[in-house]
Amino acid sequence: MSDALHAEVERRAPLQRLAWALLWLALAALSLQFLLAVHGQYRHLDPEHYTMYWSRRGWLWLHITGGVLGIVLGPLQFLTRWPRAWPRLHRWLGRSYISGMLLACAAAVGLIATSPAPASITTAFAGTALAWLLTALVAMISIRRGKVARHRRWMTRAYLVTLAPVVFRLLLPAWMASGRAPSPDAIALLLWSSWVVPLLLHGVLSSAWTRWRGRASSMAAPAG
């Protein structure tokens, strides 16, 4: 039975790598579309394109700059081989990612403080920024203590929060397509959902994968 289980694990490995590759490609495509469609409009320096952000465009530019760094550099942290081959580059990219996150979070404070939006929306924005900051902070502390596996888990969580604006842009059209109005409370709900739901899904899937690997290892152990 252990030999059969070992063969099953070996058989699934290429499929798992393919699934991860397809997932990252999909995330990259969605992120690129988000950057071009949403942030691209701000290349026109006029009040028509900036709307309520025109008087706060300085904060917006800082927030966008930090967010773009996070979205672009985040996936590079999950490549499994090159960090061991080029550890210094990996560290500098990680520092750049953290710097972008700090810049975006600092600018978010300025945007929230000057926002005319209802409290439910500004609170949701603040919650997102805080979740981003905390997940990245735990990841950074973990790697400084030499806990690589824990660092990877929390970097994954941090990047899921990084993608919250991308997920929100998917949820909002789906919400409106269902015939429901984008009220302030609905916007706040979608903002929370854009990172809480991915984190919950990640937790469930990670736990299931860990349990499956644990059972596979325990059943294969007698064969050794």
Amino acid at 46: D
8 A C-beta contact, residue 165 and residue 34: yes
Q: How far is 29 from 148, CA to CA, in rounded Å?
A: 28
Instruction: State residue 21's pLDDT score.
Output: 66
Query: pTM for this structure?
Result: 0.79
How does pLDDT run across 100-140, given as a tens digit for each residue? 999 999 999 999 999 999 999 999 999 999 999 999 999 99
Domain, as residue range, for 176: 2-223
Instruction: State residue 118's pLDDT score.
Output: 95
Structural domains of the chain, count: 1
How does pLDDT run across 6-60, given as a tens digit for each residue? 444 455 556 666 666 676 677 777 777 777 777 777 888 888 888 888 899 999 9
How does pLDDT run across 144-176, given as a tens digit for each residue? 999 988 998 999 999 999 999 989 988 999 999
Closest residue by Cα to residue 63 from 113, 7, 136, 12: 113
Instruction: State residue 122's pLDDT score.
Output: 96
Instruction: State residue 5's pLDDT score.
Output: 46
